[in-house]
Amino acid sequence: MGPEGSIQLYHSKLKLFIVRNEYKIKEGFAMLKKVVVGSMLLVFVIAIGTTLAAKDVKDKKFTLPVLEKFLLSKSEMPGYRLKYQHKHHWFIGRKNGKSQQKIGVEQNWVSSSGISTYVSYCAFNSHQEALDAATFYKSNMASIFKEGSLTGLPVGDKSWIATQQSQGAAILVVQGNAIVLVGDSLCRENERKHLERIVRKAIKKLRKSKK
């Protein structure tokens, strides 16, 4: 075999080596993706736009007049401290190929043991708008929300829950013309009911504010 033939044979073997290793790398990433997506999905749900809201983190007491009477206060959250209260961007639909957003408020309540619970609020012009927004939101979360509550009891006008087998849970509730989402990415199965207690407090305040 001449020099040119040897070079071609070397290139062929090198190409085959690269292709085989690319396949192994892709296969490895696919397996890793399955593991990571499962564990991170609920964290993404609970974050509910925190990435967009991060630029507003310096405004620790952001509020909206329509939500002022609705937001939970320190007296209603014993054993917790309010870490921040900032602007939250809710994705509520698409129009002409563009995402539609609604501005709400997100609170981060931290327990004495250092665990964060996120409470997000948004108000709409009507009950139907709130219901449509909640339906769009939960339908775009990889169908991990199911209708119901964490205790089996009715919550608000309509509610959905998302849970992880090991840890993490969230509850999404429509009450009147408003939405409340409460989530904790670290709570275990026997600790999830506190999320429902929190969302019930918010709903109670909302109902009083409408009287």
State residue 60's pLDDT score. 59
State residue 211's pLDDT score. 67
State residue 188's pLDDT score. 84
Would 78 be classed as within a structural domain? yes
* Residue entry with tokens 């909640």: 134
Would 22 be classed as within a structural domain? no
DSSP 8-state symbol, 169: E
Which structural domain range is residue 66 located in?
47-209
Would 52 be classed as within a structural domain? yes
State the Cα–Cα distance between residues 105 and 102, nearest whole angstrom.
10
Would 120 be classed as within a structural domain? yes
Cα angle 159-164-169, degrees, rounded to a multiple of 5: 45
State residue 58's pLDDT score. 46
Would 172 be classed as within a structural domain? yes
Would 63 be classed as within a structural domain? yes
Domain with residue 125: its CATH number is 3.40.1000.20
DSSP 8-state symbol, 77: S
Half-sphere exposure of 73 (CA within 13 A, CB side): 8
Instruction: For the chain of 211 residues, list the mean pLDDT of each consecutive stretch of 10.
Output: 49 45 46 40 45 44 83 94 92 82 94 92 95 90 82 94 86 96 88 92 88 67
Count of the separate structural domains present in the chain: 1
180 pairs with which residues across the strands?
A: 121, 173
Listing DSSP states for 101-155 in one string gives: EEEEEEEEEEETTS-EEEEEEEE-SSHHHHHHHHHHHHHTSTT--EES-SSSS--
Would 41 be classed as within a structural domain? no
184: closest CA among 171, 169, 197? 169
Would 116 be classed as within a structural domain? yes
Structure-token pair, residue 124: 């709409």
Non-local CB neighbours of 137 within 8 Å, separated by 6+ positions? 48, 90, 91, 92, 172, 179
